[in-house]
Structure 1
Amino acid sequence: MHTFNGSDADSVTSVSDITDKLNLKARGKLRQPAPLLISSLGTSVPEAPHAVSVCMPAWQDNVDYEEGRARVHDQLQSGYPRFCFHRAVKVLAKLGLVMAGLDGTTHGCLCLPAEWIAKRCRDFILARASLDESLRGSNDDAVQIHLLDFQPEAIKLPTVAVVTYPVSLQAIAKSYWQHSGEIVSSRLAERLVKEAVLQTKRQWPAELLQELQATAGVEQDREEVDEFIEEHFGRNLIADGATAKLRIRQRLAALVEHDPRDVFLYPTGMNAIFAAFQLLHQQHPTRKSIMFGFPYLDTLKILQKFGPGAYFLGQGDEQDMQELERLLRTEPILAVFCEVPSNPLCKTPDLKRLAALAHHHGAAVVVDDTIGNPYNVRVHPHADLVATSLTKLFSGASNVMGGSIVVSKHSPQYLELHSRLQATFEDTYFDDDAIFLERNSRDFQTRAQLANKNTEKLCDFLREQPLLREIHFPKFSCLDQYLGCKLERGGYGSLFSIVFDNDKQAQIFFDALNVNKGPSLGTNFTLCCPYTILAHYTELDFAQQYGISSTLVRVAVGLEEYQSIRSAFECALAALSASKASESEK
């Protein structure tokens, strides 16, 4: 069996080593019973302290969430961490306000994993406030940075920085957290809160102390966690973060046939995209970027808000390809960003042609391969930087965040990009998160195979259903372009989207679909959401221009027995059929 040690960072582990040896133990245990179907609004999905999804089982729940209705928000036990603050993060923020001597009714507080990140956040808040006439009077001194210094020297935890600001700037501050992905994870927040409770010499306000104690009690004893993992998965956690991170890097490097030193880890997938942008932007701060194809929303927001702007070629079609060429000829471009395939339309650009144009004109190519995932697609021959959300199928367990950048060895800028990233990289990925991600990802390839199989069979079935207007799936969308990136071992991934004739039909189908429902994707269990409602509720007309219908339901297929998944969809189709029949009788 392959043994991981420090010297392995200098070698490339073969794909077969990872597949055949690391997953050997997992193969007999892969088909764990599916998580219980969670149907109670606001319940964590899965029901775990660090879940990254939350149950919103009805279409109207999602609408009310977007409209800020208390009936939904008051019941949320968790949420996707870049959009919803975990309980431990909220308590840590309250602690930060107390330590800064500020009142929570007049000020907000954002917790960030390093002081240099806090400085960038402060600059962002002030810059964005200056663009809003109603906020231009904000005093620069009102946005402050403080370090949380309550942890003893013996405890090797990251020094978290907090940015405090008037509540009028809350929306801007939260947008930094969401777009950049530079977040304090719930595990780190819990550890820090626990240390705060142990500081008996400090006199915390009674109400805050009660919250601190309650939050610290959420963290399970490590022995209990180890016992749970062993009983349920037959795999113990690695003891230290450095080893876990090395194994993750080796695992990813083997998948994409690179050296582990080409792999860099980040707290979230969006932070990997943000870091790729920052790396390029620092070298050419006046150059605009190009977003080719309609992406997941925060990628576009990064390009628009953190630099001189971006050109958005949202259709990603032949006309946009010609416009891409025109823009590249017209002015120096920082980079072309794209997804393979895109979320949620599952479109794939002609990556070879796109890269040839970009590189000919001196622009970098940044590819997000999360939806395809590195088991199925190989984009590195045409990319300079490849960003992946490891929160998704690489983890699968929906209980930890993570992201990565791979500096492509095929890039014409490889030596320059690698040296600059190596020189500027600061590890902000919390060790405990890496430990869980390492454990979750040991059987990634085996799970990817099963998810591919389930999804392709389900999409073939659904495509034949006349009640559905359209199925977006790489096998049916831009197939030639996808096949240009698809590996021989790979499939079409585990994500697809369904489009309906109208909102009523979408709601009937969604409400009748008996699977887990909530944000995120790439889970080991089937998970769906009304994507456009959640991602573009305030800009539905804008999304519609690019084919993102308000009726779109996005589905991430899991590892359950195929027939059980199909049965759930058959029941939803039956409910839709019955509704149509009832209408025709009126």
Structure 2
Amino acid sequence: MTTLRHYPLGTPYPNSPHAVASSLPTLRDVCGYEEKEPRVLDAMTSGYPRFVQNALVTRLIEFLLDRESLSGRASVLIPGKRAALELLRCVGPGPVLHEVEPGLVLLHYDPLDQALGARLRKYLQHIGCGISSREAEAWLLRFGLIDSAHREDRIPGNGRQAVEQAIADLSTVPVEDVLVCASGMNAFYAGFRAVQEVQAMRGRRRWLQLGWLYLDSGCILEEFLRDGEILEHHYDLTDTDALVRAIRAAGTELAAVVVECPSNPLVRVCDLRRVAEVVREEGGVMLVDPTIASIYNLDVMPYADLVVTSLTKYAAHQGDVMSGAVVLNRESVFYGDLVLRVSAYHAPAYDGDLRRLAFEMQSAPDVVRRMNANAARLCRYLKSHPAVRHIFCAGCSDHIEIVSRSEDPVGAVISMELHGSMRKFYDAVSVMKGPSFGTQFTILSPFMYLAHYDLVTKPEGVDFLASAGIDPDLIRISVGAEDYDEIEAVFDKALNLSLG
């Protein structure tokens, strides 16, 4: 069956218990998800793992609570005591730590304490250290609660070594400088914490965010700064002179510059070479996240002290693995200090996930090339369509030549603003719709509705987005590797309907 079709509410894709994408087919469903309507939440039995608890994880938690005579308690499940202690430190008093098996920890609490539960889930989402569905499946099998695991291809042997070697080869660094994490968000958190410790020792307290960051990355910068630390936002990546002035103004207080390259969701590339030169002159750290176009398409290592990236996208192109990585630059003056600290905060990925990821990475270069080619053609088509007001893509961005691994337009992600009705387009387009990208199947999202619903539903929030150059009705498209003519036909039909 073609992947270019309508998916009913809550349908996972691929057809796997480990799928990270789950369908939100209409804008009404998106709003219902954000407003926690039972109609929508009941249908979402799977989804992006940091936001939707997988059914295998739920079943394991229920079993363990019952086995440990904790029925009636609410809980999250963490694979590793160190990660559980870090989460507990962030959340504060309230949850009770209970190690139910070696390396398997319940943090349980009174379900009537809704504020505590919300805080615990929030920090679990930010830190990205929850148990994966495959590890939950392995425990369920061990406890005799299921007869067999989902059948899928994985490499034999050590998954971590295979993935780290593949990333090292892509990044042209020694394999010792790659650390694979349980999620891209955990990679960001581990990198942030390491930089924070290094620069705090030097009395540096000013952090600069360049461009719009993904929600949880921004939340980490907002919420995990220590007393006396300051965060500045500079949203316009096109004004390099202004960025340079801001970096110079921080002077000897500059701790770090954090930038996505390209940015999410506007898919813009700053002049990374010039920015990095100035940051290094001022003694700051460059933390760069290339996830939107991926390390397959971009080489940002020469301009970064450390790179953090999600491997859930592009590398895990089948859409069924969550993972991330931190890559350290051995040429950085901060290398020695950072390498000692990053591992203290990372949550290791489960080896079953990594063996599946390593299998998918074998075909990733070819799949990514097809996605890139389709995205370049779709970009040209969208620019000519009367329903489309504006297009954002990495290949259309200034400064892309600084980081691109080839002369071709890079990455699968395109964002667009419409003249017509976003709701009509979104409801009509026959593709998977949900919060992910970088998959071999086309997937799109009304990005600001899913990431910043509080902003798009309030006049002051809409005004704030406008000041940052973001249309609240922006659509983010991740172009898949399907037949291009079929992709264009699906978009053409929906765009024409949006004008009606």
What is the match of residue 201 of structure 1? none
CA contact (8 A) 1:382 1:411 kept: no
Q: Does 1:78 align with 2:46?
A: yes
What is the match of residue 296 of structure 1? 214
CA contact (8 A) 1:290 1:335 kept: yes
Pick one of 348, 351, 366 that aligns with 1:428. 348
What is the match of residue 452 of structure 2? 536
CA contact (8 A) 2:244 2:275 kept: no
Superposition pairs for residues 200-349 of structure 1, below 5 Å? 213=145, 216-217=146-147, 219-220=149-150, 225=151, 229=153, 237-240=154-157, 242=158, 244-285=159-200, 287-308=205-226, 310-318=231-239, 320-329=242-251, 332-349=253-270
Following TM superposition, by how much is the alpha carbon of 1:112 offset from its aligned partner in structure 2, in angstroms? 1.3
Following TM superposition, by how much is the alpha carbon of 1:488 offset from its aligned partner in structure 2, in angstroms? 2.6
CA contact (8 A) 2:276 2:304 kept: yes
Q: Does 1:160 align with 2:112?
A: no
Q: Does 1:461 align with 2:381?
A: yes
Following TM superposition, by how much is the alpha carbon of 1:528 offset from its aligned partner in structure 2, in angstroms? 0.7
Pick one of 411, 414, 429 that aligns with 1:513. 429
* Residues 281 and 446 (structure 1), Cα distance of their counterparts in 2 relative to 1, 3 Å cut: same
Alpha-carbon distance in 1 for matches of 2:87, 2:23: 31
Alpha-carbon distance in 2 for matches of 1:217, 1:500: 49
* Residues 178 and 323 (structure 1), Cα distance of their counterparts in 2 relative to 1, 3 Å cut: farther
What is the match of residue 173 of structure 1? 120
Alpha-carbon distance in 2 for matches of 1:563, 1:496: 17
What is the match of residue 145 of structure 1? 97
Number of aligned positions between the proteins: 484
**Partner SS, residue 449 of structure 1:** helix
Q: What one-letter code is carried by the residue in structure 1 that aligns with 2:127?
A: S
Alpha-carbon distance in 2 for matches of 1:147, 1:98: 14
Higher relative contact order (CA 8 A, sep 6+): 2
TM-score relative to the length of structure 1: 0.78
CA contact (8 A) 2:4 2:487 kept: no
Q: Does 1:389 align with 2:341?
A: no
What is the match of residue 370 of structure 2? 450
Following TM superposition, by how much is the alpha carbon of 1:419 offset from its aligned partner in structure 2, in angstroms? 4.5
Following TM superposition, by how much is the alpha carbon of 1:312 offset from its aligned partner in structure 2, in angstroms? 2.0
Q: Does 1:482 align with 2:390?
A: no
Alpha-carbon distance in 2 for matches of 1:99, 1:323: 60
Two-structure CA RMSD over aligned residues (Å):
2.1
CA contact (8 A) 1:529 1:554 kept: yes
Following TM superposition, by how much is the alpha carbon of 1:468 offset from its aligned partner in structure 2, in angstroms? 1.1
What is the match of residue 134 of structure 1? none
Q: Does 1:49 align with 2:13?
A: no
* Residues 271 and 34 (structure 1), Cα distance of their counterparts in 2 relative to 1, 3 Å cut: farther
Pick one of 470, 481, 491 that aligns with 1:569. 491
* Residues 568 and 360 (structure 1), Cα distance of their counterparts in 2 relative to 1, 3 Å cut: same
CA contact (8 A) 2:311 2:324 kept: yes
Percent of aligned pairs sharing the same letter: 30
Pick one of 192, 196, 220 that aligns with 2:139. 192
Alpha-carbon distance in 1 for matches of 2:207, 2:64: 36
Following TM superposition, by how much is the alpha carbon of 1:195 offset from its aligned partner in structure 2, in angstroms? 2.8
**Partner SS, residue 164 of structure 1:** strand
Q: What one-letter code is carried by the residue in structure 2 that aligns with 1:403?
A: G
Q: Does 1:498 align with 2:416?
A: yes
**Partner SS, residue 296 of structure 2:** coil
CA contact (8 A) 1:346 1:496 kept: yes
Q: What one-letter code is carried by the residue in structure 2 that aligns with 1:460?
A: R
**Partner SS, residue 387 of structure 1:** strand
Q: What one-letter code is carried by the residue in structure 1 that aligns with 2:439?
A: T
**Partner SS, residue 396 of structure 2:** coil
Alpha-carbon distance in 1 for matches of 2:466, 2:66: 45
CA contact (8 A) 2:3 2:431 kept: no
What is the match of residue 416 of structure 1? 337
CA contact (8 A) 1:449 1:490 kept: no
Q: What one-letter code is carried by the residue in structure 1 that aligns with 2:365?
A: Q
Q: 1:543-570: per-residue Cα shift (whole Å, max 9, x none)? A: 3431222211110000001100011111
The structure having more radius of gyration, on CA atoms, is 1
Following TM superposition, by how much is the alpha carbon of 1:420 offset from its aligned partner in structure 2, in angstroms? 4.3
Q: 1:506-542: per-residue Cα shift (whole Å, max 9, x none)? A: 0111112111212200010101111111110012214
Following TM superposition, by how much is the alpha carbon of 1:251 offset from its aligned partner in structure 2, in angstroms? 1.4
What is the match of residue 359 of structure 2? 439
CA contact (8 A) 1:536 1:543 kept: no
Following TM superposition, by how much is the alpha carbon of 1:78 offset from its aligned partner in structure 2, in angstroms? 0.7
CA contact (8 A) 2:4 2:442 kept: no
Following TM superposition, by how much is the alpha carbon of 1:96 offset from its aligned partner in structure 2, in angstroms? 4.4
CA contact (8 A) 2:260 2:288 kept: yes
Alpha-carbon distance in 2 for matches of 1:46, 1:374: 24
CA contact (8 A) 1:389 1:404 kept: yes
**Partner SS, residue 444 of structure 2:** strand
Alpha-carbon distance in 1 for matches of 2:141, 2:6: 30
CA contact (8 A) 1:49 1:218 kept: no
Alpha-carbon distance in 1 for matches of 2:242, 2:216: 21
CA contact (8 A) 2:431 2:442 kept: yes
Q: 1:106-160: per-residue Cα shift (whole Å, max 9, x none)? A: x42111121111111112112xxxxxxxxxxxxx3x32111022xxxxxxxx611
Unaligned runs of 5+ in 2: none
Following TM superposition, by how much is the alpha carbon of 1:310 offset from its aligned partner in structure 2, in angstroms? 2.2
Q: 1:337-391: per-residue Cα shift (whole Å, max 9, x none)? A: 1011011100111111211221112211111011121122111111000111111
* Residues 543 and 92 (structure 1), Cα distance of their counterparts in 2 relative to 1, 3 Å cut: farther
Following TM superposition, by how much is the alpha carbon of 1:305 offset from its aligned partner in structure 2, in angstroms? 1.2
Q: 1:87-118: per-residue Cα shift (whole Å, max 9, x none)? A: 122223334444554453xx421111211111
Larger mean CA deviation between 507-516 and 553-562 belongs to 507-516
* Residues 245 and 313 (structure 1), Cα distance of their counterparts in 2 relative to 1, 3 Å cut: same
Q: Does 1:399 align with 2:348?
A: no
Alpha-carbon distance in 1 for matches of 2:329, 2:282: 18
Alpha-carbon distance in 2 for matches of 1:490, 1:385: 26
Following TM superposition, by how much is the alpha carbon of 1:217 offset from its aligned partner in structure 2, in angstroms? 4.7
Following TM superposition, by how much is the alpha carbon of 1:411 offset from its aligned partner in structure 2, in angstroms? 2.0
CA contact (8 A) 2:389 2:416 kept: yes
Alpha-carbon distance in 2 for matches of 1:295, 1:316: 12
Alpha-carbon distance in 2 for matches of 1:323, 1:99: 60
Following TM superposition, by how much is the alpha carbon of 1:259 offset from its aligned partner in structure 2, in angstroms? 1.6
Q: 1:450-502: per-residue Cα shift (whole Å, max 9, x none)? A: 1111000110111112221111112333x2x1111112365321001111247
